[in-house]
Amino acid sequence: MEIMLAIVVVAAMIFFGALISMGNERQRRAIDNLREQVVQWSIQDLRIKHEKLSRDIYIDDPLGWLNKVAGKSCGRNLSLQVIESFEFPRVLLCATDNGDEKIIFTPHSPGEIRSMKRAKQNRLDKFIDQNPLLSLPRGAIRYECSVLNNGLAFDLELPLAWKELTGIDGGEMNIIWIYFVS
């Protein structure tokens, strides 16, 4: 009799455990589904806001905008002055107000720059093309500027400011890298 009671109790525990497990699995799937719907709604909401912003984007002072972006990323006011721009690879060379530091703005990541440097170049090309990106020191201090650290409209403002500052169409740019050469 005790054995029968023990078997019934164990069977009941297994049965209730299975019911709880199935209920937990259903809840997990429901929560995952809800989370996915919230993510999709958020993405769509951001797309709508982004599209609405894209119609109203205008930059009065591109150099002031660049100073603001660099200041947010670097944590200090740089008071930039444009020195020169290059079309390939795309580079905007600036200097601080007092001329102590030279700063390179480019959409090219450190990995892309390494690939460019590794590409075999004719020795005469080095003298013809004086692009500062190709002579960038290995340990140069760098910062990445994107929508994440410069606001929702950054990727809309960047091509406009780039065109105004360099005279070259920026195309699809959504990230810019800052390299300190000094």
Q: Where are the domains of the chain?
A: 1-56, 62-180
- Could you give the CA distance from residue 128 to residue 152 in angstroms, rounded to a whole number? 39
- Could you give the CA distance from residue 169 to residue 14 in angstroms, rounded to a whole number? 68
- Could you give the CA distance from residue 27 to residue 115 in angstroms, rounded to a whole number? 49
Q: How confident is the model at residue 124 (pLDDT cuts 50, 70, 90)?
A: very low
Other CB atoms within a 10 A radius of the CB of residue 152 amount to 11
Other CB atoms within a 10 A radius of the CB of residue 94 amount to 23
Distance in angstroms between the alpha carbons of the first and the last residue of the chain = 89
Structure tokens that stand for 120 in this block = 């075999």
Exposure class string for 101-126: b at 16+ Cβ within 10 A, else e: eebbbbbbeeeebeebeeeeeeeeee
173 CB-near residues (< 8 Å, 6+ apart): 107, 155, 158, 159, 162
What pLDDT is attached to residue 127? 45
pTM > 0.85: no
What pLDDT is attached to residue 83? 81
pLDDT at 95 over 80: yes
- Could you give the CA distance from residue 113 to residue 140 in angstroms, rounded to a whole number? 12
More confident position, 34 or 23: 34
pLDDT at 122 over 70: no
- Kindly report the average pLDDT of the chain as a whole number: 82
pLDDT at 123 over 60: no
- Could you give the CA distance from residue 173 to residue 16 in angstroms, rounded to a whole number? 57
Q: Which residues pair with 155 in a beta bridge?
A: none
pLDDT per residue as tens digits for the range 61-92: 888 888 888 888 888 888 888 888 888 788 88
89 CB-near residues (< 8 Å, 6+ apart): 106, 108, 113, 116, 131, 133, 134
Structure tokens that stand for 147 in this block = 């929508």
pLDDT at 103 over 50: yes
Provide mean pLDDT across the span 88-116. 83
Provide mean pLDDT across the span 98-102. 80
Provide mean pLDDT across the span 110-132. 67
